[in-house]
Structure 1
Amino acid sequence: MSTSPGPLDITFTTPIGVMVKGDLWSCVEVPDSAERFGTGKAIKVAATVDGEPVTAGLLPTGVGGHMLSISAKLRKKLGKEVGDAVTVHLTERLT
């Protein structure tokens, strides 16, 4: 469990798209995130998405996990749409 800032080495592949209150958001859900980070609140991380560097907040999903937003700009750069799989590597917890 990583409850304070520091290095991470968490890699997962998942499709873009998280259901939030009936809407499909262009995010990816981080597996076992509440257990990994010891909180249900937003935390800031450094990561790569399909090799592209990203610094972003992991937002609460509302059901105990966290999700990372995959912006329209990043999706365009990667050539990905909602429903396409991406590989995420969380490299550092910043908050």
Structure 2
Amino acid sequence: MSGRLDQPISLDYGFLGAIGVDVKGEIWSAVEVPGSRELFGSLRSVRVDATVDGVLVEDIGLMPTGSGELMLSVSAPLRKKLSKDIGHEVQVVLVRRLT
């Protein structure tokens, strides 16, 4: 895949966040990554390995929210596994950057 780093970059960047990001008036099932502009140096999409409440999510894309940060999608199967939904808080750790 193009854009892939030769060696993943260790991040170990953790934060608490609520599931639910307002994107153009719609609530998406995602968690906003605070400080993502500073962490990644831009607001372009990046791929990472992460954990959400301790569950490993590999090779997931962080996408721009449109309001100045990136967000990590929390899929329906992952929400079911975590017994969490929109509005619930989760612990996220960005483990390593892949792109």
TM-score by length of 2: 0.89
Equivalent position of 2:11 in the other structure: 8
Asked if residue 85 in structure 1 is aligned to residue 89 in structure 2, the reply is yes
SS in structure 2 of the partner of residue 81 of structure 1: coil
Partners of 1:6 and 1:35 in 2: how far apart?
15
Partners of 1:63 and 1:22 in 2: how far apart?
11
> What stretches of structure 2 of length at least 5 have no aligned partner?
none
Equivalent position of 1:43 in the other structure: 46
Partners of 1:29 and 1:59 in 2: how far apart?
9
Misfit runs of 4+, over 6 Å: none
Query: How far does the alpha carbon of each residue in 1:30-88 deviate from its partner, in whole angstroms, 9 at most, with x for none?
Result: 00101110011100000000010002000011122100000000000000010000000
Equivalent position of 1:17 in the other structure: 20
TM-score by length of 1: 0.93
Partners of 1:62 and 1:18 in 2: how far apart?
10
Q: C-alpha root-mean-square deviation of aligned residues, in Å?
A: 1.0
Partners of 2:80 and 2:90 in 1: how far apart?
13
Aligned pair count?
A: 92
